[in-house]
Amino acid sequence: MIPIDKLLEKTGDRYTLTTVVAKRAKQISEGATPLVELDKPHKPIFVAIQEVVEDKIEFYEPQEDDLSPEQPLEE
């Protein structure tokens, strides 16, 4: 079992951790090759968590400059 504190050190907050792990687990379940080697088969969510622990996943939090401006509502 991996302590949540260790995972939060890698991502900074629970929201980012949840998002990163969920997206990666979905990729793995859809056939993406795992970036870590495990001694036996595991569920995609466990593999994704292990990838975070081993710094195998690169991610960033978008900055305000990265976001496109909202379109004005049409009346």
Counting runs of H as helices and runs of E as strands, what totals does the chain give? 3, 0
On whether residue 71 sits in a domain, the answer given is no
| Angle CA 46–37–4, to nearest 5 | 35
pLDDT in tens, 9-24: 888 889 999 999 999 9
User: What total number of domains does the chain contain?
Assistant: 1
- Structural domain including 19 reads 4-57
On whether residue 33 sits in a domain, the answer given is yes
Residues 6+ apart with CB under 8 A from 54: 35, 36
CATH number of the domain within which 38 lies? 3.90.940.10
On whether residue 20 sits in a domain, the answer given is yes
pLDDT in tens, 34-70: 999 998 889 999 999 999 999 999 887 766 666 566 6
On whether residue 73 sits in a domain, the answer given is no
